[in-house]
Amino acid sequence: MENNIKINFENYLNKKNFSSSQKEIKEINFNNFIKNGFPNKRIEDWKFSDLKQIITTNFENIDFSKKEKQSNIEANFKLDLEHNKIVFINGTISKIDFSYEDEKKIVVEQNPNLEKELSENSLLNLNTAFVSNYTKILVKSGYQFKKPLILFNYLSNDLNNIGLNTRVDINLEDDTSLNIINISNENLNNNFLNFRQKINIGKNSILKNYSLDINKNSNFKYSFKDINLEKNSHLEYFILSKGSKFSKHDINCSLNNEYGSVVLNGIIDLNDERHHEIKTKINHNEENCKSYQLIKSVLNDNSKGVYQGKIFVDSKAQKTDGYQLSRALLLSDEVEFNAKPELEIYADDVKCSHGSTSGNIDENSIFYLMSRGLSYEQSKKLLTNGFLNEVIEKITNEDVKSLLKKFIGITE
């Protein structure tokens, strides 16, 4: 596969009109990826999700030559809420619609120059090497979005064994607010999707970000988000991890000035042989900041769920308040759940806690519900929904909360 990726890269550089400096950045990142390869279980962050083995097992070859969008494709998504939208077809912007907003306050830049950076994460090197459709979204100082922004990621049905590297950066200037929903369509073909994002949240700004992997598909997804918060800013982040065959949601979130706060909640809801992981790192780099994390997993059949979460507290970050909890409900003897909660604290005056629990469904509760006339399956579904509803109730956008309940099958 390595030789195939090298050929892909040569072809890719030859058919794109990159400047000499951009080519140099791409070549340096590509060489670093070839040196390190796909991450495997010998790397601590990948000990529960050996991506090299997963790729080798499921792909004979991956074609990283960029598949351009097709003009005859129309991406239709129907969500029961008023929204703005940016539609991506195979990673390329197809439509931008800010009907509810003042468009002078929003800048969408396509294909800006890449910065000179080299990561220890080989998948970020791979992304920089192959990304050709790079988008930056800027919300100007003082602007408050009136309606959510939906990022629709549409994959055409002819994509098969394709490696798609995409990047969408978001910059909120001071005193702004934005709600974002990320959602993809159903695509049953095996593709490797490598998504990278940098998010900067300015002073006194609020971002609510909802990442929804809901449509059942056969794709393998890696998503890395590097999020930075300034003074008195707030992030509400929610993950629904359900549809893909393999998914790893990797979040590095840094509280870089005082009075910043993060609420990060997620659901892993799996059946069949799906394998999903949520990995979070919250960096408390300044004093008087708060973080809250709650991740719940429901695993059935032969599925595998993983949660790795770390709270890092710098020596300067006095008065830190950090909370992290992972809970898993195991509905089959064949499932596997791995959790690795961590605290790394270098300050004295802090309040931090973490924990992880997992267990089977309560048969006494099942018996009680069946005695009231419900079937076994109805009883199990009711208890499962009650288990997950605690996470969904923490969503502060009522429209998004109702939407999520429909996706999960929770009746109000």
CA distance 238 to 397: 11
| Contact criterion met (CB below 8 Å) for 84 and 97 | yes
Q: Look-up: residue for tokens 């969904």?
A: 392
In the chain, where are the structural domains located? 1-185, 231-360, 362-412
- β-strand pairing of 163-172 with 275-284: unpaired
Band (222; pLDDT cuts 50, 70, 90):
very high
Q: Is the pLDDT of residue 137 over 80?
A: yes
**Residue that has been written with the tokens 């605690």 in this structure:** 390
Dihedral sign (CA 350, 266, 244, 96): negative
Query: Residues 316-320: what's their mean pLDDT?
Result: 97
Conformational region of residue 405, where left means phi above 0, alpha means psi within -120 to 50, and beta covers everything else: alpha
Q: Mean pLDDT over all residues of the chain? A: 92
Of 122-131, 187-196, 240-249, 341-350, which gets the smallest average pLDDT?
187-196
Report the candidate in 248, 265, 277 with the shortest Cα–Cα distance to residue 339: 277
Give the Cβ contact number of residue 160 at 10 Å: 13
Pairing of strands 84-89, 92-97: antiparallel
pLDDT in tens, 38-88: 999 999 999 999 999 999 999 988 998 765 555 456 666 677 889 999 999
Residues 158-173: tens digit of each pLDDT: 888 999 999 999 999 9
Helix count (H) and strand count (E) of the chain? 7, 19
Rounded Cα gap, residues 92 and 280, in angstroms: 28
User: If 0-12 CB within 10 Å is exposed, 13-18 middle and 19+ buried, where does residue 146 land?
Assistant: middle
Contact 311, 324 (CB under 8 A): yes
pLDDT above 50: residue 223: yes
Cα 78 to Cα 96: distance, rounded to the nearest angstrom: 16
Higher pLDDT, 349 or 61: 349
pLDDT of residue 410: 77
Confidence of residue 408 (pLDDT cuts 50, 70, 90): confident
Among the listed residues 288, 307, 287, the one whose alpha carbon sits nearest the alpha carbon of residue 297: 307
Its pTM surpasses 0.85: yes
Joined tokens for residue 79: 């969500």
Separation between Cα atoms, residue 339 and residue 10, nearest integer Å: 40
For residue 296, the model assigns a pLDDT of 97
List, in sequence order, every residue forming a beta bridge with 110; answer none if it has no partner: 135
Residue 338 CA to residue 316 CA, distance in Å, equals 32
In tens, the pLDDT along 254-285 reads: 999 999 999 999 999 999 999 999 999 999 99
CA 46, chain centre distance (Å)? 16
Neighbours of 192 (CB within 10 A): 25
Where would I find the H helices in 79-160? Answer: 122-130
